Amino acid sequence: MFRTQNDCTYLMPVHFGGGKFDPGTIVSQRTVALGITYETDGKLLENYIPEGFELLAPEVQVTFNKFTEINWMHGGYYNLINVAAPVRFHGKKDHLDGSYTLVVWENRTAPILGGREQTGIPKIYADIEDLHVLRPHYSTTVSYEGNTFLTMDFEAAGAVTGDDLEGLRSGFASINTIGWRYIPKVGAPGADLSQFVLYPQGMEVETAQVGTGTLKWTELTPVQNPAQYYIINSLAALPMKRITQAALMEGRAILRAMGARVIE
Amino acid sequence: MFRTQNDCTYLMPVHFGGGKFDPGTIVSQRTVALGITYETDGKLLENYIPEGFELLAPEVQVTFNKFTEINWMHGGYYNLINVAAPVRFHGKKDHLDGSYTLVVWENRTAPILGGREQTGIPKIYADIEDLHVLRPHYSTTVSYEGNTFLTMDFEAAGAVTGDDLEGLRSGFASINTIGWRYIPKVGAPGADLSQFVLYPQGMEVETAQVGTGTLKWTELTPVQNPAQYYIINSLAALPMKRITQAALMEGRAILRAMGARVIE
Amino acid sequence: MFRTQNDCTYLMPVHFGGGKFDPGTIVSQRTVALGITYETDGKLLENYIPEGFELLAPEVQVTFNKFTEINWMHGGYYNLINVAAPVRFHGKKDHLDGSYTLVVWENRTAPILGGREQTGIPKIYADIEDLHVLRPHYSTTVSYEGNTFLTMDFEAAGAVTGDDLEGLRSGFASINTIGWRYIPKVGAPGADLSQFVLYPQGMEVETAQVGTGTLKWTELTPVQNPAQYYIINSLAALPMKRITQAALMEGRAILRAMGARVIE
Amino acid sequence: MFRTQNDCTYLMPVHFGGGKFDPGTIVSQRTVALGITYETDGKLLENYIPEGFELLAPEVQVTFNKFTEINWMHGGYYNLINVAAPVRFHGKKDHLDGSYTLVVWENRTAPILGGREQTGIPKIYADIEDLHVLRPHYSTTVSYEGNTFLTMDFEAAGAVTGDDLEGLRSGFASINTIGWRYIPKVGAPGADLSQFVLYPQGMEVETAQVGTGTLKWTELTPVQNPAQYYIINSLAALPMKRITQAALMEGRAILRAMGARVIE
Cβ contacts of A102 on chain B, cutoff 8 Å: 13, 15-16
CB D96 within 8 A of CB D198: yes
The whole-angstrom separation of Cα B79 and Cα B108 is 8
Question: DSSP character for D86?
Answer: E
Q: What is the pLDDT of residues A46-64, one digit of tens each?
A: 999 999 999 999 999 999 9
Cis peptide before A58 (omega within 30 of 0): no
Beta bridge partners of A128: A142
Comparing CA positions, the residue from C67, C85, C32, C36 lying closest to residue C205 is C32
Sign, Cα dihedral of C219, C221, C226, C231 = positive
**What's the pLDDT at B52?**
95
- B11 within domain boundaries: no
Amino acid A85: pLDDT = 98
Q: What is the pLDDT of residue B257?
A: 80
Cβ neighbours of A7 in B, within 8 Å: 189
* pTM above threshold 0.95: yes
Q: What whole-number distance in Å separates Cα of residue C200 and Cα of residue C204?
A: 14
pLDDT in tens, B100-117: 999 999 999 999 999 999
Domain CATH code at residue C183: 2.40.400.10
pLDDT band of B259, cuts 50, 70, 90: confident
Answer yes or no: do B7 and A49 touch at CB < 8 A. Answer: no
In which region does residue C146 sit, left (phi positive, over 0), alpha (psi from -120 to 50) or beta (all else)?
A: left
3-state secondary structure of B22: coil
* A184 near B CB under 8 A: yes
pLDDT of C259 over the 90 cut: no
Which residue in chain C is spatially nearest to D69 when comparing CA positions? Answer: C223
- Residue in chain B closest to C138 (alpha carbons) equals B75
Contact C48, C100 (CB under 8 A): no
Q: Do B141 and D127 touch (CB under 8 A)?
A: no
Please, which residues 212-241 of chain D have a Cβ atom closer than 8 Å to chain B? Answer: 223-224
Report the DSSP beta bridge partners of residue B156.
B211
What number is the average pLDDT over the span B125-136?
98
pLDDT in tens, C159-178: 999 999 999 999 898 899 99
Q: Identify the pLDDT of residue B124.
A: 98
Predicted confidence at residue A255, as pLDDT, reads: 86
Task: Provide, rounded to the nearest whole percent, the portion of chain C with pLDDT above 90.
Answer: 95
Residues C107 and C143: beta-carbon distance below 8 Å: no
Q: Which residues of A touch B194 (CB under 8 A)?
A: 4, 14
The candidate with the shortest Cα–Cα distance to C102, out of C81, C88, C77, is C81
Inter-chain contact A138–D73, Cβ cutoff 8 Å? no
Flag whether pLDDT at C258 surpasses 90.
no
pLDDT one-digit tens code per residue, D153-207: 999 999 999 999 999 999 898 899 999 999 999 999 999 999 999 999 989 999 9
D27 touches chain C (CB under 8 A): no
Q: Are D6 and C189 in contact (CB under 8 A)?
A: yes
Which residue intervals of chain B are DSSP H helices? 42-46, 109-119, 162-173, 229-236
Look at residue C140 and tell me whether its pLDDT is greater than 90: yes
DSSP class of residue B7 equals: T
Residue A1 lies in a domain: no
Q: In this model, does residue C28 exceed pLDDT 90?
A: yes
Subunits in contact with chain D (3 or more CB pairs closer than 8 Å): A, B, C
Q: Mean pLDDT for chain B?
A: 97
What is the model's pLDDT at position A40?
Answer: 98
Does residue B14 lie within any of the structural domains?
Answer: no
Q: What is the pLDDT of residue B56?
A: 98
Q: Which of B71, B129, B132, B153 to mutate: most C Cβ within 10 Å?
A: B132
Chain A within 8 Å of C15 (Cβ-Cβ)? no
Q: Is the pLDDT of residue C67 over 90?
A: yes
pLDDT, position B199? 95
Cα separation of A192 and A185, whole Å?
A: 5
d(CA C39, CA C60): 6
Banded model confidence at residue B254, pLDDT cuts 50, 70, 90: confident
Average pLDDT of the residues in A86-110: 97
CB proximity list for A213: less than 8 A, separation 6 or greater:
A34, A36, A152, A153, A154, A243, A245, A246
Q: What is the pLDDT of residue B175?
A: 92
- Over residues B58-83, the pLDDT tens digits come to 999 999 999 999 999 999 999 999 99
Between C173 and B228, the more confident residue is: B228
Q: Residue B258: what pLDDT? A: 83
Q: Is residue A7 situated within a structural domain?
A: no
CB C134 within 8 A of CB B71: yes
Average pLDDT over residues B187-196: 97
Between positions 116 and 135 of C, the ones with CB within 8 A of A are 127-129, 132, 134
Residue A162 within any structural domain of the chain: yes
Tell me if D134 and A69 make a contact (CB, 8 A cut-off): yes
- DSSP labels for B28-60? EEEEEEEEEEEE--HHHHHTTSBTTEEE-SSEE
Q: Is the link from the previous residue into B136 a cis peptide, with omega within 30 of 0?
A: yes
Burial (0-12, 13-18, 19+ Cβ within 10 Å), C252: middle
Give residues 74 to 103 of B whose Cβ lies within 8 Å of C.
Answer: 74-77
Whole-angstrom distance, CA of residue C218 vs CA of residue D36: 44
Instruction: Kindly state whether residue C5 falls inside one of the protein's structural domains.
Output: no
- What is the DSSP secondary structure assignment for residue C129, as one 8-state letter? P
Question: Which secondary structure element, helix H or strand E, spans residue A163, and what is its range?
Answer: helix A162-173
Average pLDDT over every residue of D47-65 = 98
At residue A134 the predicted structure's pLDDT band, cuts being 50, 70 and 90, is: very high
* Percent above pLDDT 90 for chain B: 95
What burial letters (b/e) apply to D206-218, b meaning 16+ CB within 10 Å?
Answer: eebbbbebebebb
Nearest-Cα distance to chain B for D183, in Å, is 30
Cis upstream peptide for C136 (omega within 30°): yes
Look at residue B256 and tell me whether its pLDDT is greater than 90.
Answer: no
Least Cα distance to B131 among C138, C74, C112, D226 occurs for: C74
What stretches of chain B adopt beta strand conformation (E)?
A: 8-9, 19-20, 26-39, 53-55, 59-70, 76-90, 95-106, 123-125, 127-128, 132-134, 137-144, 147-159, 175-184, 191-201, 204-217, 242-256, 261-263
Out of B132, B142, B223, whose CB is closest to D139? B223
Q: How far is CA C157 from CA B221, B261, C152, C212, D226, in A?
A: 53, 41, 16, 7, 39
pLDDT of A258 > 90? The answer is no
How near does any CA of chain C get to the CA of B202, in Å?
Answer: 20
Range of the domain at A145: 26-263
Show Cβ contacts of residue B219 under 8 Å, excluding neighbours closer than 6 positions.
B149, B229, B232, B233, B236
**Residue A204 confidence (pLDDT) above 90:** yes
Q: What H or E segment, with its residue span, contains residue D233?
A: helix D229-236
- Chain A residues touching B71 at Cβ < 8 A: none
Condensed to tens digits (0 to 9), the pLDDT of residues C196-247 reads 999 999 899 999 999 999 999 999 999 999 999 999 999 999 999 999 999 9
Report the pLDDT value the prediction gives residue C19, as an integer from 0 to 100. Answer: 95
Is the model's pLDDT at C255 over the cut of 90? no
Q: Please give the helix or strand (H or E) that residue D119 lies within, else none.
A: helix D109-119
- Determine the distance in angstroms separating the CA of B129 from the nearest CA of chain D, rounded to an integer: 7
Provide the residue type at C224 as one letter. Answer: Q
Q: Which residues of C touch B137 (CB under 8 A)?
A: 75
Rg over CA atoms, chain B: 19
Query: Could you tell me if C30 and C252 are in contact, meaning their C-beta atoms sit under 8 angstroms apart?
Result: yes
How many Å apart are CA B224 and CA A141, to the nearest integer? Answer: 27
Of the partner residues C77, C134, C139, the one whose CB lies closest to the CB of residue B130 = C77
How many angstroms separate the CA atoms of C220 and A148, rounded? 11
Given a contact cutoff of 8 angstroms between Cβ atoms, the answer to whether D211 and D247 are in contact is yes
**In the C/D pair of chains, how many CB contacts fall below 8 A?**
216
Q: What is the pLDDT of residues A165-183, one digit of tens each?
A: 999 999 898 899 999 999 9
Q: Among residues B208, B141, B132, B142, which one has the least CA distance to residue B169?
A: B208
Q: Is B20 contained in some domain?
A: no
Query: CB neighbours of D230 closer than 8 A, spacing ≥ 6?
Result: C16, C17
> Helix, strand or coil for residue A78?
strand
B146 band by pLDDT with thresholds 50, 70 and 90? very high
Residue C211: partners with Cβ closer than 8 Å, 6 or more residues away:
C136, C154, C155, C156, C157, C158, C246, C247, C248
Say whether B146 and D145 touch across the interface (CB within 8 A): no
- pLDDT of A209 reads 98
Mean pLDDT of all residues in B14-36: 95
- Interface check C207 vs A, CB under 8 A: no
| Structural contact between residues C256 and C26, judged by C-beta atoms closer than 8 angstroms | yes
Q: Does residue C230 sit in helix, strand or coil?
A: helix
Say how many Å lie between the first and final Cα of chain B, rounded: 38
Q: How far apart are CA D234 and CA D48, in angstroms?
A: 9
Burial of B135 (0-12, 13-18, 19+ CB in 10 A): exposed
Our count of domains for chain A comes to 1
Pairing outcome for strands C175-184 and C95-106: parallel
The string over D61-93, giving b where at least 16 C-beta atoms fall within 10 Å of a residue's C-beta and e elsewhere, is bbbbbbbbbbbbbbbbbbbbbbbbbbbebeeee
* pLDDT above 90 for C69: yes
Alpha carbon distances (Å) from C118 to C8, C103, C111? 13, 16, 10
Task: Look at residue B236 and tell me if it is in a domain.
Answer: yes
Give the separation between CA A82 and CA A61, rounded to whole angstroms.
Answer: 8
Q: What is the mean pLDDT of residues B171-189?
A: 95
Contact A4, A107 (CB under 8 A): no
Helix (H, G, I), strand (E, B) or coil at A210: strand
**Residue C163: its pLDDT value, please?**
95
Position C257 scores a pLDDT of 80
Mutation to test the A interface, candidates B16, B20, B21, most A Cβ within 10 Å: B16
Are B75 and C132 in contact (CB < 8 Å)?
A: yes
User: What pLDDT, on a 0 to 100 scale, did the predictor assign at position A249?
Assistant: 98
Do D16 and C231 count as a contact with CB atoms less than 8 A apart?
yes
The per-residue pLDDT for range C183-197, each reduced to its tens digit, is 999 999 999 999 999
Residue B170 binned pLDDT confidence (cut-offs 50, 70, 90): very high
| ipTM confidence | 0.97
Task: Say if CB A124 and CB A142 are below 8 A apart.
Answer: no
Handedness of CA B158, B162, B164, B166 (dihedral sign): positive
